[in-house]
Amino acid sequence: MTIIGKPLAGKILIEPKKAEEKTVSGIYLPESAQEKPQTGKVIAVGSDKVDEKMEIKVDDTVLYGKYSGTEVKLNEKNYLVLSQSDVLLIL
């Protein structure tokens, strides 16, 4: 997969994990009731910032805040652009 461009310093591009479509008990959830995912795979990373080294690498799986970042659509797929500081954990 080719991404057009590269994130700016301190930013990362994430492909969010798909939302759960059914509960543990097997009940299917409508899209409006699905929980917004908080994990995803890192697709691209920007360079280091002057005061902050980039610690996240491509292909890392990360946990981020529920309302973090900006949603974008590239090549008919949904992605999330966020700052390294919005990442809570590298899984």
CATH of the domain at 85: 2.30.33.40
Q: What was the pLDDT predicted at 32?
A: 60
Terminal Cα-to-Cα distance of the chain (whole angstroms): 23
Neighbouring-strand partners of residue 31: none
Task: Answer yes or no: is 6 within a domain.
Answer: no
CA distance 59 to 32: 29
Tell me the average pLDDT across 14-25.
75
pLDDT digits (tens, 9 = 90+) for 36-81: 668 999 999 999 998 999 999 999 999 998 888 999 998 888 899 9
Range(s) of the domain holding residue 52: 11-17+30-90
**Strand, coil or helix: 33:** helix
* Residue 81 is assigned to a structural domain of this protein: yes
Per-residue pLDDT reduced to its tens digit, 24-35: 777 766 656 555
Report yes or no on 3 lying in a domain: no
How many domains does one find in the chain? 1
Nearest Cα residue to 68 out of 50, 53, 81, 54:
81
- Which of 44, 29, 28, 35 is closest to 77 using CA atoms? 44
Residue 1 has pLDDT above 60, yes or no: no
